[in-house]
Amino acid sequence: MSHLTHLECTSCGQKYDPKQPHNLCACGSPLFARYDPKKISSAISRETLLKRDNTIWRYRELLPVDSGENIVTLGEGGTPLILASKIASRLGIKYILFKDESFSPTGSFKARGMSVAVSKAKELGVTKICLPSAGNAGSAAAAYGVKAGIEVNVFMPQEVEEIYQQECQAYGARLTLFGNSILEAGQEMNRRIKKDWFDFSTLKEPYRVEGKKTMGYELAGQLNWILPDAIFYPTGGGTGLIGMWKAFEEMEQLGWIDSFRPKMYVVQAEGCAPLVKAFLEGKQMSEPWQNPQTLATGIRVPKALADFIILKIVRESGGKAVAVSETEIQNAFRLAAKTEGILLCPEGAAALAGLIKLLRYEKNDIPFRRPVIFNTGSVLKYRNYLRQTLP
């Protein structure tokens, strides 16, 4: 079923056996799953995929799970691409599409990553997992974990919205609140980690990114195998951006798309913009952001483990990294709500704000006409944000 062949280090190329659970490479870099493109090509075509059920598991040959019995699914994937023509004409571009992940199980696109990672963990006989989370990854891990019969230990920052705590409680996950950011919660996890806990942290575990790469496959399928010319992605740990770029490479290798790539735009909040700072300074890696502040909690990530991969992709694609203010985020939320009937989560609103900002500064030389904006989750979880943002 899966045509996974091995795991490969993103820095040194070292190979690992996918029959065993692995975290990072011995050199400290994330591992990527690699597949046999010849076998995939003879098993499926891009057209046959589209006839299957519209979940991430229609791409099962390109995902790492061997046996169908191990698939843990809540119906993730298959989210709509929504045309926002009013905003587009207001901004003077051809069209804007929202990839709306708010429809996902557990209310965010973290479901894609967790469905795949938890399924693979189950297949490998993992019984306990742990992860730090700003909220949504914890809820998704808790839901898929309980379905798989895996114990889930979540570490969240203290001031996390109550809803995330309630979700963990409902699913029976073990929750520890610590510190002021996902980084500090993760440090506490590392102090308390037990021998039999498998570390599910973003990109320290090689299969969450496989789940998120399905966004790249889905986009291509929804756009008739012609990729958009720009993608605006609210970036925290960067799993989705890295995953989509990986999907584009895999699809080109399979002959499903050509070598055209969207410009990839990383959008962060001004109160927590380590990748933007590194991008503007021409650096290959970011520095941990001190005192991170933003209501867009999904991107309140002071340091991305895979920052060097994210920055490389942004530069290679000809995109940029952009920071937006809280006011710009809130204005973008109001604009989408009042014109298009779409409620953006603060991260999605940040992505739209990033687009608006770029268009303002590059009015005469807009490098794209057909951008896709990721609305990564449901705003209904953000009660504080909504209270402060409603007109």
Ligand X SMILES: *Cc1c(COP(=O)(O)O)cnc(C)c1O
Residues 243-302 that bind ligand X (CB under 6 A): 298-299
Residues 338-367 that bind ligand X (CB under 6 A): 345, 347
Q: Stretches 22-30, 77-85, 232-240, 312-320: which one binds ligand X (CB under 6 A)? A: 232-240
Distant-in-sequence, close-in-space partners of 160: CB < 8 Å, separation ≥ 6: 134, 135, 177, 297
Q: Give the C-alpha separation, 267 to 250, whole Å.
A: 25
CA distances from residue 379 to 43, 86, 144 in whole angstroms, order as listed: 39, 21, 21
Q: Give the C-alpha separation, 8 to 157, whole Å.
A: 32
Q: Stretches 2-10, 44-52, 141-149, 235-243: which one binds ligand X (CB under 6 A)? A: 235-243
Nearest to 306 by CA among 209, 219, 230: 209
Q: Is 13 exposed, middle or buried (0-12, 13-18, 19+ CB in 10 A)?
A: exposed
**What is the closest distance, in whole angstroms, from the C-beta atom of residue 215 to ligand X in the complex?**
10
**What is the closest distance, in whole angstroms, from the C-beta atom of residue 118 to ligand X in the complex?**
16
Q: Whose CB is nearest to ligand X?
A: 298
Q: Which of 235, 268, 294, 389 touches ligand X by CB under 6 A?
A: 235
Q: Is 21 exposed, middle or buried (0-12, 13-18, 19+ CB in 10 A)?
A: middle
Q: Stretches 188-196, 230-238, 279-287, 320-328: which one binds ligand X (CB under 6 A)? A: 230-238
The distance in angstroms from the start CA to the end CA of the chain is 51
Q: Stretches 231-239, 246-254, 257-265, 330-338: which one binds ligand X (CB under 6 A)? A: 231-239
Residues 107-136 that bind ligand X (CB under 6 A): 108, 110, 136
Q: Which of 2, 10, 239, 286 touches ligand X by CB under 6 A?
A: 239
**What is the closest distance, in whole angstroms, from the C-beta atom of residue 84 to ligand X in the complex?**
18
**Where do contacts with ligand X occur on this chain (CB under 6 A)?**
108, 110, 136-137, 202, 234-240, 298-299, 345, 347, 376-377
